[in-house]
Chain A
């Protein structure tokens, strides 16, 4: 076992898991109202009416915790030339083929795409969600805006869930990643292999 490198503080881990738990609850309760095939999921939140009542409040919790998390992650998510170069090798990376990669920082291009997607989608979900939040806010909006909001909410949610499916799979696929969010550390070998520029930076500290 090689030495361990700290990647996420306890505060960052707690913040991440608040987002993760609320996201899962939102996906479950949102899909329940999206397609009848998922309606059974509404029972997990106590039935259709509880599902409808709770979903928006959970959404507000997610928005606040995501905003707090995202603000801290912006500097590490600026896309660099090395990321663009790394992206070109993505098919080989996905096939586990040997490849010489540019030295990238704390996050790879895929992680950065997810980050920026959520930075756009989560505020869209909040705003469109407020427009369709019955019975508190919907009566204040025009029918045209409400109809636009339901479509924006559904499309944004679809893209966000798709992004999170990729995010979860990437964490499972890239062995040694999950402990970064459960224990806060990664092995030095993992850091050197996946995020060499970040590893060098951490080593210099």
Chain B
């Protein structure tokens, strides 16, 4: 649903400007400090509770990941990776997966339904399911494999960054509940500043490659990670090193879209003007007689 207190910056399948008369406030961001995460899954529970989501009871497949993957009813999941960056020294990396709220969102670029996906002026990307037609193009456009189509209603769902809470001045439910302070929320500027302090601390503790994950390939994100091994994000359950909108998606919903439409329009016009200038191709009268 549209949230009147949040200005919209971009709207799917819309070629005219979005409402922008009011001054845009600061951009917001959620910062997830993986070095502080203990994998308690309180954030998963808080997300279920606030958003009133109840996934089907799954099966234990022998790993801590539960549920095993994001679904239309599970908008965030903890992904557990056991790695040995230094041989003999086991590290348990626990990444809270979910929508990254890209500044250049592939889902919004791919979506064919006007207003089904919006990006607020504060940077959050939200799905308005009442406009969703269930085509799944957002799944095709997303560089992070986040949106899921619901088996119940055929609509796409993902983390909203609790747009309904943020709109009234509250922090997202996962941030509110995190017992270790691994998840924090604020202006993007403040979150980058906070991350820098955390990274300096990690470096002083021997994590030489600690850094901030705010990938420029998608224009930066409004969900950022502090990684102990920022040089190897793929260690964290396959977090992409340099994510971006696929060139195929950019071709399809970028240049091809206006050019092909123009081409078809010109073909129709060319036919019309050929007819009114050259005239029809008629069989000569004398041939009819012969």
Contact = CB atoms under 8 A, between A and B. Distances in A.
Interface of A: 2, 31-39, 42, 47-49, 51-53, 93-96, 132, 134-135, 138, 143, 146-148, 150-151, 154-155, 158, 161-162, 165-166, 169, 172-176, 187, 189-190, 192-194
B264 A162 contact: yes
A169 B270 CA distance: 10
- State the majority secondary structure of interface residues on A: helix
B86 interface: no
B268 interface: yes
Nearest to A2: B288
Contacts of A172: 271, 275, 280
A35 B257 contact: yes
B32 to A, nearest CB: 24
A49 B260 contact: no
B114 A173 contact: no
A165 B251 contact: no
B275 to A, nearest CB: 6
Contact of A193 (B256, B267, B287): B287
A169 B288 contact: no
B280 A33 contact: no
Given A189-B288, A193-B283, A154 B133 contact: no
Contacts of B271: 165-166, 169, 172-173
Given A143-B145, A165-B268, A135 B278 contact: no
Which residue of B256, B258, B281 has the most chain A CB atoms within 10 A of its CB atom?
Answer: B281
A110 to B, nearest CB: 12
A38 B136 contact: no
Which residue of A148, A151, A175 has the most chain B CB atoms within 10 A of its CB atom?
Answer: A151
Contacts of A96: 278-279, 281
A165 B13 CA distance: 25
A32 B112 contact: yes
A176 B287 CA distance: 14
A47 B116 CA distance: 14
A147 B246 CA distance: 8
A150 B248 contact: yes
B252 interface: yes
Interface in B137-195: 137, 139-140, 145, 149, 151, 154
Nearest to A98: B284
A47 B284 CA distance: 48
Contacts of A32: 112
Contact of A35 (B251, B261, B278): B261
Given A51-B133, A148-B248, A173-B275, A192 B257 contact: no
B134 interface: yes
B281 A174 contact: yes
B267 A175 contact: no
13 contacts: A2-B288, A33-B133, A94-B278, A134-B134, A138-B136, A143-B140, A148-B248, A151-B256, A158-B263, A166-B271, A173-B274, A189-B283, A190-B283
